[in-house]
Amino acid sequence: MATSTIPLDNAAVVINSTVDISDQVQSVTLTVGYDQLETTAMGATGRSYTKGLQSVDATMTLFNSYGAAEVEASLEAIVGDDAVTLEIYPKGTTPGVDNPEYTISGAFLASVPVITGTVGELSMVTVTFTGGTWARATS
């Protein structure tokens, strides 16, 4: 039974410790875990597993904007970079017990849709960062 629920209405996303795109994020999904390695041996009656390398996927939908310090320029500067650092918080940028900071180091951004949109609608882009290692902090 859940003891508390927190609406995700103030998530923060910071790229490379300097580019705060939080005010342009419509949605963010961060999936962290480990690769599953099978350890089943002969004679076993069921499969068994152990953890392997860390795995990370961070998918964001952003309001697209153009300009020197805006979304398009910020993403264009890191596309193809395999050493991106992401900091993601559920609510605001002050880590705490109820606001864990996830730091992803060595993430890779393979591609960026630089122009997308429909007449009468806001331009939105969805990007996915993969790989790297993750750490969780609460202070």
Asked whether residue 4 is assigned to any structural domain, the reply reads: no
Say if residues 131 and 106 touch (Cβ distance below 8 Å): yes
Asked whether residue 62 is assigned to any structural domain, the reply reads: yes
Asked whether residue 107 is assigned to any structural domain, the reply reads: yes
Asked whether residue 110 is assigned to any structural domain, the reply reads: yes
pLDDT at 5 over 90: no
Asked whether residue 8 is assigned to any structural domain, the reply reads: no
Residue 60 identity: M
Asked whether residue 3 is assigned to any structural domain, the reply reads: no
Say if residues 111 and 82 touch (Cβ distance below 8 Å): no
Q: Write the burial class of residue 88 (CB in 10 Å: 0-12 exposed, 13-18 middle, 19+ buried).
A: buried
How far is CA 47 from its chain centroid? 31
Number of domains in the chain: 1
Say if residues 84 and 77 touch (Cβ distance below 8 Å): no
Q: Which domain holds residue 125?
A: 17-38+47-137
Quote the pLDDT of residue 79.
Answer: 97
Quote the pLDDT of residue 7.
Answer: 61
Quote the pLDDT of residue 17.
Answer: 93
Total residue count of the chain as it appears in this document: 139
What pTM was computed for the model?
Answer: 0.85
Asked whether residue 5 is assigned to any structural domain, the reply reads: no
* Structure tokens that stand for 61 in this block: 């939908």
Percent of the chain with pLDDT strictly greater than 70: 94
